[in-house]
Amino acid sequence: MSAVDTVPDDTHQTTQARRRWMRLMGIAGGLAAVLLVYNGVAFNLALHGEDHKPRDPATGLLVGSEPRDLGPEDGPCAALFIHGFGGAGTDFAGLPERLAESGWRVRVMLLPGHGTHPRDMGRQTPETLLDAVRDEVRGLRERHDTVVLISHSMGGALSTLAASEMPVDGLVLGAPYFGVTYRWYYVLPPELWGQMTAPFVRWVYKGRLFMQVNRKEAREHIVCYTWLPSSAIRTLTRLGKRARADETLEKVTCPVLVLHGRNDVASSPKAMEKALERMASRDKRLVWLERSNHHMYWDYDQEQVFDEILAFAAKIRGAEAH
């Protein structure tokens, strides 16, 4: 084949390559435009999405998210309730009141960045969240002989970390977050997806439609943000990683009660089992909930959940009395 014959082929290949490059650039530009519009719309919805929700006129907090103190002030036993990611004390339904009625001093805390506005949540780090829990535990320890931590979801990771470094007499982990439940269509681990998409997707929608509770009527009673900043999701991922680390779990020596929905679609049951197995505590109990999803304090196994926790608290109280 002569040199003259190859020129058209080279020109054709160059043209084809240029067209492919232009198509790729067009797709990339289109995706960038979609992300730009999405982030803009999401930001505005997040900015004003909480405005319609009722707030306490004195504090400005979302109604239902206010910190609460219940039960006798001078009792020997106290329980700290630590809620989940984007949530509030309503995560626990009526359990705080039930425990207070049995003679416990109850403190239902509000984590930093919660109950105000989602942008405040995006400013938090693992340390700011953990520091808030530490302060609450210290305050209760100064006034009470026995302190138990009762948690939900991300609160479980925070409780585990606190129990690994502070004197705690009991640990109740409700659907604790040690990792996200994996589903076959994720292809990659969900935490990795979060890291990959966070620089491009700044806000994630979490409305009542995506609230993981099988008893649908319960959704109206659970206070949570409608939009979540992706930076907060990265903070959650870092907390879970720290909580499930061997150097954390080997320092958890207090009695532990775990309650977890077998089909929880948010907090991974498998990650929880691995973490519980590695905890150093000699007194560990796992209760599987067959009819509950992630919000197990509100779900169909609610009475079982309450009974198990009240019995655990009575056991701790009895042990401390002797």
Q: Residue 64: what pLDDT?
A: 92
Instruction: Please check whether residues 76 and 142 belong to one and the same domain.
Output: yes
Instruction: Please check whether residues 33 and 181 belong to one and the same domain.
Output: no
Instruction: Please check whether residues 163 and 244 belong to one and the same domain.
Output: yes
Q: What is the CATH number of the domain that holds 177?
A: 3.40.50.1820
Query: Distance between CA 114 and CA 101 in Å, rounded?
Result: 27
Q: Are 50 and 225 in contact (CB under 8 A)?
A: yes
Kindly report, residue by residue over 212-270, the tens digit of the pLDDT. Answer: 999 999 999 999 888 888 889 889 999 999 999 999 999 999 999 999 999 999 999 99
Instruction: Please check whether residues 128 and 28 belong to one and the same domain.
Output: no
Evaluate if residue 179 carries a pLDDT over 70: yes
Query: Distance between CA 214 and CA 290 in Å, rounded?
Result: 11
Q: What is the CA radius of gyration of the chain?
A: 24
Q: Is there a domain that residue 117 lies in?
A: yes
Domains identified in the chain, total number? 2
Instruction: Please check whether residues 37 and 86 belong to one and the same domain.
Output: no
Query: Distance between CA 314 and CA 320 in Å, rounded?
Result: 10
Query: Distance between CA 177 and CA 87 in Å, rounded?
Result: 14
Instruction: Please check whether residues 123 and 251 belong to one and the same domain.
Output: yes
β-bridge mates for residue 77, sequence order = 146
Q: Is there a domain that residue 125 lies in?
A: yes
> Range of 96's domain?
68-321
Return the higher-pLDDT residue of 122 and 112. Answer: 112
Q: Residue 115: what pLDDT?
A: 94
The vertex-158 CA angle with 92 and 74, nearest 5°, equals: 60
Q: Is 305 helix (H, G, I), strand (E, B) or coil?
A: helix
Q: Is there a domain that residue 40 lies in?
A: yes
Please list, in sequence order, all residues whose beta carbon lies within 8 angstroms of the beta carbon of residue 311, skipping any fewer than 6 positions away. none
Instruction: Please check whether residues 42 and 87 belong to one and the same domain.
Output: no
Please list, in sequence order, all residues whose beta carbon lies within 8 angstroms of the beta carbon of residue 228, skipping any fewer than 6 positions away. 85, 86, 118, 121, 203, 204, 205, 206
Query: Distance between CA 89 and CA 217 in Å, rounded?
Result: 18
Q: Which two tokens stand for residue 55?
A: 């707030």
Instruction: Please check whether residues 239 and 203 belong to one and the same domain.
Output: yes
Q: Is there a domain that residue 63 lies in?
A: no
Instruction: Please check whether residues 15 and 153 belong to one and the same domain.
Output: no
Strands 170-174 and 256-261: parallel
Q: Are 148 and 136 in contact (CB under 8 A)?
A: no
Kindly report, residue by residue over 288-297, the tens digit of the pLDDT. Answer: 999 999 999 9
Write the single-letter amino acid at 168. V
Evaluate if residue 43 carries a pLDDT over 70: no
Query: Distance between CA 104 and CA 154 in Å, rounded?
Result: 24
Q: Is there a domain that residue 119 lies in?
A: yes
Distances (CA, A) of 117 to 53, 123, 239, 286: 11, 11, 21, 35
Instruction: Please check whether residues 7 and 108 belong to one and the same domain.
Output: no
Q: Is there a domain that residue 61 lies in?
A: no
Q: Is there a domain that residue 305 lies in?
A: yes
- pTM equals 0.83
Q: For the chain, give the mean pLDDT.
A: 85
Instruction: Please check whether residues 37 and 111 belong to one and the same domain.
Output: no
Please list, in sequence order, all residues whose beta carbon lies within 8 angstroms of the beta carbon of residue 215, skipping any fewer than 6 positions away. 298, 299, 300
Ranges 4-13, 98-107, 171-180, 298-307: which has the least confidence: 4-13
Q: Is there a domain that residue 108 lies in?
A: yes
Instruction: Please check whether residues 315 and 213 belong to one and the same domain.
Output: yes
Please list, in sequence order, all residues whose beta carbon lies within 8 angstroms of the beta carbon of residue 290, skipping any fewer than 6 positions away. 262, 301
